[in-house]
Structure 1
Amino acid sequence: MAAQEEAELCFPHLNNSCRRITSSLSKTVLLNTLLSFVALITAILNLLIIISISHFRNLHTTTNLLLLSLAVSDFLVGFVLMPGEIFRNTACWFLGDIMCSLYSYLVCQIVSGSIGSIVLISFDRYVAICHPLHYVTRITLRRVKCCIGMCWLSAGFYSIFYMKDELIQPGRRKSCFGDCTLVISYVTGTVDLILSFIFPVSIIILLYIKVFIVALSQARAMRSHITAFTLHRSVNLAQKRSELKAARTLGVLIVVYLMCYCPYYSYSLVEINVTSTAYAPFLIFLFYFNSCLNPLIYALLYPWFRKAIKLIVTLQILQPGSCEVNIL
C-alpha cells in the first residue's frame, strides 16, 4: 500500500510559499540513504583516479590527462551536485536565491566541462587509431593541457551565457518561496540542447565510427600476420594492441555516457524546462550516475587503476620515491 502523502508549506508565514510533498519517513530515509551512498562512492572512486594519475609519473600521458579532466568533473558531480540534488528534492530550499543561482551555475559549469572532456577523449582516440604516425607530434602534453584549460574556460563562459538572467537577478522567475528550479527561456533551452547534446554527440559518434572501422581493419591485419612478425615488429604489435584496447575501453565509456545523457536531453526535445517536470529527479540522477559508472569502467578494464588503488589504500604512496613506481 502506497504511503500517504500530504502537502506542507515551506514557509507558513508567507502567502507565496511553495508546497512540498512529504513522503513517509521510511521511504524518505531509504531513498536518501541510497542516493547518498551513490554520491559517496562517486566522489571516492573519482578521487582515487585523480590521485593515481597525479601521483604516478608514468601515468602522465596525454590520454590520462584527459581522463584526469573527466575524473575532476565526475568528482565534483559526486561531491557537490549529487548532494545538492538530494537536498533540493527532499527539502525546501532555505539557502536563498543567490545560493540557488550559484548552485545552478555550478551544475552548468561542471556538466559542460564533463561533456568537453568526453569530446577531447574521443578526438584523442581518433588521432591515435586513425593517424598513429602523427599522434606523437600532434597530441603533445602541452597541447593537451592547453585544450583542457580552454575546455573548462569555455564551459565557464557558456555557463555565464546560459545563466545570465539568473546571475543578473537571482530568483526572478521562481513561482514561490522555497523552490530552487532553474527556469530558462525557449531560445536558451534550444541553444543548450544543440551545444550541449546534439553537436558534441554528433562529433563523438562520427569520430568513433571512424575509430571502429579502422580498429576492425587493424585487428584483422594483426590476426592474419601475427606469425610473420619479427621481434622488432612484435613491439609494434604490442603497442597497437595497447592502442586498440584503449580505444575499446574508451568506446565503452562513450556508450555509457550516451545511455545516461540521452534520456535527459531526449525529454528536453519535448519539454525545454526539464527541471520543472515530475520526471526531473529521475532524469537528473541518471544523468549524474554516469559519473559513478566511469571509474567502475576503469576498475574493470584498466589494470593500472586496480594496482594504483592498492598502493593508495595501503598508503604506499606516502613512501619516498613512490611516484616513480612503474604502475603500467
Structure 2
Amino acid sequence: MADLIVGLILMPVLGLKLIEPCWYFGEIFCSIFPLILYVVTTASLGNLIIISVDRYIAVNDPLRYTTRVDTNRAVFSIVVNWVFSCIYSLLIMYEAVLHPEKNHACVGECILFIRLEYIITDVVVCLVTPCCLIIYLYMKICFIAKHQAEHINALTVKKVKSEKKAAKSLGVVVMVYLLCWIPYYIAALTLGQDTSDSLVINIMYWILCMNSLMNPIIYAMYYRWFRISTKYIVTLKIFEPSSQYFNLFIEEK
C-alpha cells in the first residue's frame, strides 16, 4: 500500500512540479502533499524493518515461529508502523503544515521549508538507525542460516533454502533503499533546507520514489506468491466469491 500510494498520488504530482513552475493544487494540498510524502516513505522504511525482524525470528527460532508471529501481531506491527510514521512526519512537517504561507514568496508557489536540525534528525531516524538495525539483523540471518546448513539433514534442506532466499531478497531491498535515499540526503544537507523547488531536489525526490517502484519488482522476482496475488488483483479475480479459496503458496518444483 505504501508503494502503491507513491505511484498513484506522489509521483504524478512530482512530475507536474518538474514540468510546471507554478502550483495548481491550492494551499491545502500544498501543505498536505509533503506530509503524505514523508508518511508514506517512512512507512515503507518501517515495513523493511518489520520484514527483517520477521525473517530473523523465522531463521533464529523456526520451531516457535508460528506461535511468536501470528496474524494479530502482524496487524499490530503494521498499525504501529503507520501510526509512528504519521506522528513522526507531523513533528518534522509541523511548521510547513500549519503555516504554509510563511514559505511562499508569491502566489502559485509551493515551497517546502524544513529546518536544518530537522533534516539532520531525519537522517538519523530514517537512514542511519534503521539501516544499522536492518544490516545487523541481515548479518545475523546469514550467520545463522550458514550455521544451520552445516548441521541439517536432507529433509530440511528445502526449508533452509527458503529462508536463505528470503534473506537474500531482503539484502537486495536494503541495497536498493540505500542507493535511492542517500543521494536525497546528500542533496538536502548540501543545498540547504528551503530549496525544495530546485531542479536537483526534485530529481532527488524522483530517485527516492524509485525505491517504491523497485520494491514490488524485487518481491515479484523472489516470491511466486507475490506474482500470483498480483495476477489475481489485476484480473479482478480477487472480487470473485471463490477468491478466499485461492492458493497463493503453490510449491515450486
Shift >6 Å, 4+ stretches: none
Aligned residue for 1:76?
Answer: 5
| Count of aligned pairs between the two proteins | 247
Instruction: Kindly report which structure 2 residues correspond to 1:1-328, keeping only aligned pairs within 5 A, or say none.
Output: 72-91=1-20, 92-222=22-152, 225-226=153-154, 234=155, 236-273=156-193, 275-328=196-249
**Kindly tell me: are residues 133 and 270 of structure 1, through their superposed partners in 2, closer, same or farther at Cα, counting changes over 3 Å?**
farther
Is the partner of 2:199 in helix, strand or coil?
coil
**Cα separation, 1, equivalents of 2:192 and 2:81:** 25
Q: TM-score, normalised by structure 2?
A: 0.88
> Cα deviations across residues 51-89 of structure 1 (Å, max 9, x unaligned)?
xxxxxxxxxxxxxxxxxxxxx000000001001101122
Q: What 5-or-longer segments of structure 1 have no aligned partner?
A: 1-71, 227-233
**Kindly tell me: are residues 132 and 317 of structure 1, through their superposed partners in 2, closer, same or farther at Cα, counting changes over 3 Å?**
same
**Kindly tell me: are residues 319 and 107 of structure 1, through their superposed partners in 2, closer, same or farther at Cα, counting changes over 3 Å?**
closer
Q: CA deviation at 1:286?
A: 1.0
Aligned residue for 1:45?
Answer: none
Structure 2 residue identity aligned to 1:248: K
Contact 2:47–2:78 (CA<8 Å) still a contact in 1?
Answer: yes
**Kindly tell me: are residues 177 and 315 of structure 1, through their superposed partners in 2, closer, same or farther at Cα, counting changes over 3 Å?**
closer
> Cα deviations across residues 183-203 of structure 1 (Å, max 9, x unaligned)?
111222221221121111111
Contact 1:190–1:272 (CA<8 Å) still a contact in 2?
Answer: no
Contact 1:82–1:288 (CA<8 Å) still a contact in 2?
Answer: yes
Contact 1:101–1:171 (CA<8 Å) still a contact in 2?
Answer: no
Aligned-residue identity in percent: 34
Is the partner of 1:172 in helix, strand or coil?
helix
Q: TM-score, normalised by structure 1?
A: 0.69
Contact 1:88–1:180 (CA<8 Å) still a contact in 2?
Answer: no
- The CA RMSD over aligned residues, in Å, is 2.1
**Cα separation, 2, equivalents of 1:278 and 1:309:** 35
> Cα deviations across residues 268-325 of structure 1 (Å, max 9, x unaligned)?
3434426344311221111101111111112222122333344445554444423212
Is the partner of 2:101 in helix, strand or coil?
coil
**Kindly tell me: are residues 98 and 307 of structure 1, through their superposed partners in 2, closer, same or farther at Cα, counting changes over 3 Å?**
closer
Aligned residue for 1:5?
Answer: none
Contact 2:145–2:160 (CA<8 Å) still a contact in 1?
Answer: no
Aligned residue for 1:56?
Answer: none
Contact 1:183–1:276 (CA<8 Å) still a contact in 2?
Answer: no
**Kindly tell me: are residues 305 and 102 of structure 1, through their superposed partners in 2, closer, same or farther at Cα, counting changes over 3 Å?**
same
> Cα deviations across residues 198-240 of structure 1 (Å, max 9, x unaligned)?
1111111111121122223333445xx43xxxxxxx1x43333
Larger radius of gyration: 1
Is 206-215 or 174-183 further displaced after alignment? 174-183
**Cα separation, 2, equivalents of 1:304 and 1:209:** 26
**Kindly tell me: are residues 153 and 318 of structure 1, through their superposed partners in 2, closer, same or farther at Cα, counting changes over 3 Å?**
closer
**Cα separation, 2, equivalents of 1:265 and 1:178:** 27
**Cα separation, 2, equivalents of 1:155 and 1:310:** 30
Is the partner of 1:326 in helix, strand or coil?
coil
**Cα separation, 2, equivalents of 1:111 and 1:73:** 7
Contact 2:180–2:208 (CA<8 Å) still a contact in 1?
Answer: yes
Is the partner of 1:80 in helix, strand or coil?
helix
Is 197-206 or 267-276 further displaced after alignment? 267-276
Q: CA deviation at 1:176?
A: 3.1
